[in-house]
Amino acid sequence: SDECDPVALNLGQLHALMREPQAALTLYGKAARSAAAAHKSPAAIASLEGRAHLENGEHELARAKFESAMQLEPSKLAHRYNVAAALYRGAKPAVDRATGKPAPRTPDEVAQAQRDIECAAGLAELPEGVSDAAAKEAAKAGLTQARRADFLKRCAALGAALETKLRSAAEAHAAR
């Protein structure tokens, strides 16, 4: 990007690809400071930082960075999708490394995950009145209608699984 230190940005992307999110975040921060010093929008850097947090399993931090990018550039549909992806990943049950099975969650955690999935699905939809230029820009960046449709299917499947989990937890609680 012309807005920031290209060396720091490229190195950050390399570290992200090598699954070294902490190093990537450090370099993205350097690139963001460079962009801020040049009085440029740091939305692209926030988005990259969000991606590194997402790959590191830090869903809330990723969501915050993606939301920051969305606030800075509200017309970019990719930022909406990134927030949706962070919500989706955060709603999926964590896997217990010892057993390989989903970690147990409280009914409140499952209910929150359901709300997050509903929000993710809403963000993945094209907003009313979106311009053709914005839709074309999103498609050029890889956010095609087919990709959104697949994401919405995955949201629906996870939402149904969460509903089943919540219902069985409520039944077990009532049986006590």
Higher local confidence (pLDDT), 62 or 103: 62
Is residue 1 very low, low, confident or very high in pLDDT (cuts 50, 70, 90)?
very low
Taking residues 130-157, what's their average pLDDT? 90
- Spatial contact of 46 and 69, defined as CB atoms under 8 Å apart: yes
Q: Across-strand partners of 95?
A: 102
- Euclidean distance between CA atoms 56 and 59, whole angstroms: 8
Helices 21-37, 43-55: crossing angle, 10 deg rounding:
170
Query: What pLDDT is attached to residue 158?
Result: 95
Contacts of 70 (CB under 8 A, 6+ apart): 76, 79, 80, 82, 83
Is residue 2 very low, low, confident or very high in pLDDT (cuts 50, 70, 90)?
very low
Tell me the pLDDT tens digit for each residue of 6-65: 667 677 777 777 788 887 888 777 777 776 555 556 788 888 889 888 988 899 999 999
Supply the pTM of this predicted model: 0.77
Contacts of 33 (CB under 8 A, 6+ apart): none
Instruction: Compute φ and ψ for 36, nearest 5 degrees.
Output: -65, -40
- Spatial contact of 77 and 145, defined as CB atoms under 8 Å apart: no
Contacts of 1 (CB under 8 A, 6+ apart): 9, 31, 35, 44
Q: List helix spans (H) across 38-144.
A: 43-55, 59-72, 77-91, 107-124, 132-140
- Euclidean distance between CA atoms 28 and 32, whole angstroms: 6
Number of helices followed by number of strands (H, E) in the chain: 8, 0
